[in-house]
Chain A
Amino acid sequence: MQLIEDHGLLRFLTCGSVDDGKSTLIGRLLFDSKAILADTLSAIEKTSLKRGMQEVDLSLLTDGLQAEREQGITIDVAYRYFSTGTRKFIIADAPGHEQYTRNMVTAASTANLAIILIDARKGVQPQTRRHSYLAHLVGIPHLVVAVNKMDLVDYSQARFEAIKADYLAFAQQLGIEDVRFIPLSALKGDMVVDRGEKLAWYEGDTLMEILEAAPAAHTEHDEPFRFPVQYVCRPQDSTNPELHDYRGFMGRVESGSIQVGDAVTVLPSGRTSLVKAIELGGKALREAITEQSVTLLLTDEIDISRGDMIVKTEAVPTQTKQVNATVCWLAEAPLDRARTYLIRHTTRETKAKVAAIEWRVDINTLDRQSAERLQMNDIAQVSFKLAQPLLTDPYVDNRGTGAFIIIDESTNNTVGAGMITKLAA
């Protein structure tokens, strides 16, 4: 089978509790998409396939969640997969309740779209605000507000419009720019994949159409080229003499793109050179784009090792030994200001100490409070002093060079997640 068109891969997040019908919605997407995929492949008219789904409990498709709760594994994000033949989807499904912040930040960190579920009977809830704030905080560029259980409010347009107005009022306060609204019934299948017959007043796209059309890229603006070096290939022991001088700098393009001949700067040394070749699996490429894993060869012999970053000379990141960041604390043990932690940022690691906790966010009111320590699930503004410089951009400009994790060296556990806000001089 060849894909007729490949619209790449979309990672999205579902926010809501089981009570909002989240498991049913995910089950519906998994189940109905299988039929779409089958249709795509066998070129059968989509309408010819009858899916009489009413009796099947779609939430069973995701009943790992149930097992999770029984075992007390509430910390975990589950990943689920489906494909429509033209696009592949990865759902990050964060079970809700107490540890929600930590789950959601984890799930959101790799998502480019979030579906925020609202029960049509209940309308905008405190958790809706929380979900939206966190999705926005972690920089998810596209939000879809799915007003579910429309079948239980008689498919009322007035109810839908009222919820939409409520939501928009606070979304604008948060600075959320890109949000779409869709009425649906995951249980009955209306507006998920098929339009159904009960929502004729709604003229927008179905949820699946929205998912298929959403931009797969994390950003729609050009970002500067950032290439953290992961590994250096020097096959000197090879029997092939041509490889004796080979120095390949291996990594993934975190942002931007690079072409053969571009002028680059290697940080932190500041040495400059030109891109001599770009390789992937022995093939020469003219260009490498965001998220592509490649090998770069430079025209000059420069000593480069893991942790260095290759960037275009025209736009370099900030080199700094102090960062301010929005931090989500992930560990049961609270953040201890007296301790030294390890920060992993791109392919670099440095020891770090907390300089100050500027404020902590009350996740329900969004008010800022002073705080001496951080507990699990806290969101706070923290400044750090670093032993080694990092090569950073603000998170809002660049996810790849704006994000870091905090590691406790005594346990090697990942205890915090940071998003760089503004750069100290």
Chain B
Amino acid sequence: MMLFNRQQTQLKTLPHLDWLEAEAIHIMREVAGQCANPVLLFSGGKDSICLLRIAEKAFRPGRFPFPLMHIDTGHNYKEVTDFRDQRAAELGERLIVRSVEDSMQRGTVVLKHENESRNKHQSVTLLEAIEEFGFDACIGGARRDEEKARAKERIMSFRDEFGQWDPKNQRPELWDLYNARAHKGENIRAFPISNWTELDVWQYIQREGLELPSIYFAHQRPIVRRQGSIVPVTELTPAKAGEAIVNLQVRFRTVGDITCTAPVESAADSVEKIIAETATTTITERGATRLDDQASEAAMEQRKKEGYF
């Protein structure tokens, strides 16, 4: 009986970031090869910034075989939306922006109250945009390590014509043989960086020298502490009566809708320092920073069933 050890291995293998990149390129090319009219969802956040670099590596010197699209709640940090527009322009690729505010004007999004977070209503606007453009696949930057409901997500995830994700009816996914087939009106969500962790993303950003919106790095910001979370004080999220506003050095680990994204206390003002912090932290990315996911254990799963990314 043979026992394995590293000395036996003669064949060259890829370092881990190269492997992850190669897998992501392969997935993106499969979407382009199998789907007639895909779109890449680009928010200006770090995960979708990685997706753009992967798309460059997958398709240059040609143009991307898909446009970029952002579903804007109207409540995003200006640093992020400015970055989004600038990056799309640099790449010379088409950027579609569809706004939750437009859905509100159409009456398809109705807030329960004026201050309700628009984050979960992105699903409606996304589905409207999918219908408007006839997209049969949406490429997104979701990762399986983000939280529990995503650990069993497929790389090519099937959504019915209502955009619903049915966790009991997902296609088995074997080898690197992806099934992105969908009937008219149905939709595939494709996640090329499914197998990346938050640490992998930061290591890739470092290796590729990718630019990021400034709010990912440590900066001073007025905040209040609320139920164990750090809540940034903005026009949309003012301090409540009796809460003490303090200036704190913080950075964002995720950037999303202002009303539901919290920063973490950090002095990490460079990619290197963020990597060191990420490697040693024991709190998950969403656990620390997404106020909406904390509402209930199954919050994410519920939103996904409703068509959320």
Contacts and interface: CB of A to CB of B under 8 A. Distances in A.
A217 interface: yes
A110 B22 contact: no
A306 B22 contact: no
B199 A293 contact: no
A90 interface: yes
A235 B158 CA distance: 31
Given A9-B16, A67-B148, A403 B175 contact: yes
A71 B170 CA distance: 14
A168 B3 CA distance: 13
A81 B10 contact: no
Contacts of A177: 1-2
Contact of A34 (B5, B195, B272, B282): B282
B197 interface: yes
B107 interface: no
Contact of A293 (B22, B32, B56, B145): B22
Contacts of B10: 220
Contact of B276 (A1, A180, A407): A1
A79 B144 contact: yes
Contact of B1 (A76, A178, A233): A178
Contact of A417 (B15, B57, B151, B174): B174
Given A41-B279, A64-B148, A220-B11, A235 B175 contact: no
Interface string B33-61: 10000000000000000000000111111
A330 B11 contact: no
B205 interface: no
Interface residues on B, range: 35 or more
A246 B61 CA distance: 9
Contact of A80 (B56, B58, B151): B151
A73 B168 contact: yes
Nearest to A142: B4
B132 interface: no
Interface stretch (A149-157, A208-216, A359-367): A208-216
Contact of A1 (B6, B16, B26, B279): B279
B195 A405 contact: no
Interface in A174-220: 177-180, 213-217, 219-220
B148 A71 contact: no
Interface stretch (B116-124, B176-184, B220-228, B232-240): B176-184
Given A347-B33, A403-B175, A42 B19 contact: no
B101 interface: no
Contact of B14 (A77, A81, A85, A289): A289
Interface string A368-412: 000000000000000000000000000000011001110100001
Nearest to B183: A412
Contacts of B177: 344-345, 403-405
A243 interface: yes
Interface string A299-337: 000000010000000000000000000000010000000
A403 B179 contact: no
B211 interface: no
A178 B4 contact: yes
Contact of B11 (A180, A219, A243, A412): A219
Contact of B144 (A68, A81, A234): A81
B252 to A, nearest CB: 20
A284 interface: no
B179 A280 contact: no
Nearest to B166: A73
Contacts of A34: 280, 282
A222 interface: yes
Contacts of A414: 171-174, 179
Interface residues on A, range: 35 or more
A217 B29 CA distance: 23
Interface in A56-102: 63-64, 67-68, 71-73, 75-81, 83, 85, 87-88, 90, 102
A106 B3 contact: no
A63 B298 CA distance: 12
Given A1-B276, A42-B280, A412-B181, A291 B14 contact: yes
Contacts of A126: none
A230 B31 CA distance: 10
Interface of B: 1-6, 8-23, 25-26, 29-30, 32-33, 56-63, 65, 144-145, 148-149, 151-152, 158, 167-168, 170-177, 179, 181-183, 186, 194-195, 197, 199-200, 203, 272, 275-276, 279-280, 282, 297-298
Interface of A: 1, 3, 6-9, 34, 37-38, 41-42, 63-64, 67-68, 71-73, 75-81, 83, 85, 87-88, 90, 102, 105-106, 109-110, 141-142, 168, 177-180, 213-217, 219-220, 222, 230-231, 233-235, 237-238, 240, 243, 246, 248, 250-252, 257, 280-282, 289-293, 306, 330, 344-345, 347, 399-400, 403-405, 407, 412-414, 417
15 contacts: A3-B15, A6-B17, A9-B20, A42-B276, A75-B172, A109-B174, A248-B62, A289-B12, A290-B11, A291-B19, A293-B22, A293-B29, A345-B177, A412-B179, A414-B174
